[in-house]
A and B are shown apart, each in its own frame.
Chain A
Amino acid sequence: MGGWKGRDVLSIADFSRKDIDLVLKTAKKMVPIARGERTSRPLEGRILATLFYEPSTRTRLSFESAMKRLGGDVVGFTSAEGTSVQKGETLADTIRMVESYSDAIVLRHPQEGAARLAADFTERPVVNAGDGAGQHPTQTLLDLYTMWDERGGIDGAKIALVGDLKYGRTVHSLTYALSNFPVDLTFVAPSNLQMPKEVVEHARAQGVPLAMTEDLTHVVPDLDVLYVTRIQKERFPDPQEYAKVAGTYRVDAALLRDAKKGLIVMHPLPRVDEVAPDVDPTPHARYFEQAFNGVPVRMALLSLILEGGG
């Protein structure tokens, strides 16, 4: 992919290994600014529109914080209620209108394909902040950043993804992205929630060694990264069956007793029961850092698409 200035961020599949590396390195430089330890205002005078057709507090706040840390400003809405959308305006029209009020557009929408459609109707760069069950590329990039930063690189890592791998878009995008790296993947899930065939096929086609199992306990001692996702109750017709499965995939301090010293536990948050609070004080817990990393990673993307780079 060519230059960064004006580029849309729609799907992680549009990112090459080189693109990902640049985002990670740029994000690293943003950390002191994201923490408020240093100020920098390269995006002063620029306006980011954040159009959230459904609420997503963490994603929205981290985009807004990212823009403001770089000296820019933000306009937008936090739900479709009370906007022209409720009056029946098409997304295409909303985008054409917002284009004239902003320099870049962040879109969260309940329907798949919304971000790509938005990008068709504006010259401004569009960043997909989640479209239905579709893509959420900035989440994937912050996940990659967390692994890269915590381990000093992603290459060679033994990574397990655990939980609802069938319906979880986070783990699908992450698998696509990790297929760009020489890593070792293990998918840990009950058989009815295992990774979809097309995602597995893609990873295999990229030459990624991968294993699939239902047994979490046995894989833990080998791992460098344990990425946990929530198993949703509504996927199980029988509540008892849910309780049994949820219990099996619960990560707690006892499970991590035989883990490598350097193992990191990640979770896109919010968590319910799948990572026990007794993991929080262990040296393995990284999910709060992961949540913070959303800011420098989004700063890196905003700076790249508004100012160029690479």
Chain B
Amino acid sequence: MRDLKVTPIKNGTVIDHIPTGMALKVLRVLGIAGDVASTVSVLMHVPSKHRGWKDIVKVEDRELNPRELNKIALIAPDATINIIRNYNVAEKHTVTLPERAVGILKCGNPNCITNGREPVESVFLVRSKEPLRLRCQYCDRELEDVATAIL
């Protein structure tokens, strides 16, 4: 299974080593919906040399900002980001967890003020990276399941 079913892209961003099943959440975290101007390929359940299976996302003609991309570390801590220029990997980054996750997670506490109609974005502070522990800045409650809390 050396050749992928999707051809290499000429210019853009490839997000590799996403845990299998998380590709669509990665798109959601990055705010990539149906309104993009270029082709977005999502490969799910692709054989991986290191971990059995993985997902891959390719966004053509767009170089995603590495700082933005760090948000996906919340759900894909081992993801790698390849910036492609003229079919070559021009830059390669690994994601690093930000100190704060703003506006991308919903607090799991139903009685948290951020779950009402207030005009605020949720803010989570990273308490520990390994294992991943996040605390709501407003109600202080720890988030139990990060993947399901993504807005």
Contact = CB atoms under 8 A, between A and B. Distances in A.
A217 interface: no
Contacts of A90: 116-119
Interface in A73-130: 88, 90-92, 109-114, 116-117, 120
Interface of B: 107, 109, 111-114, 116-120, 136-142
Interface of A: 11, 88, 90-92, 109-114, 116-117, 120, 131-135, 198
A198 B142 contact: yes
Which secondary structure dominates chain B's binding surface?
A: loop
22 contacts: A90-B116, A90-B119, A91-B113, A91-B118, A92-B119, A110-B111, A111-B113, A112-B112, A112-B141, A113-B113, A113-B114, A113-B137, A113-B140, A114-B113, A116-B137, A116-B138, A117-B113, A117-B118, A131-B113, A132-B139, A134-B139, A135-B140
Q: Which 9 A-B pairs have the closest CB atoms?
A: A113-B138, A112-B139, A113-B139, A113-B113, A111-B113, A114-B113, A117-B113, A116-B138, A113-B112
A110 B107 CA distance: 16
Contacts of A110: 111
B120 A134 contact: no
A131 B117 CA distance: 17
Contact of A112 (B113, B117, B120): B113
Contacts of B119: 90, 92
Contacts of B112: 111-113
Contact of A120 (B107, B109, B120): B120
B114 A117 contact: yes
B34 to A, nearest CB: 31
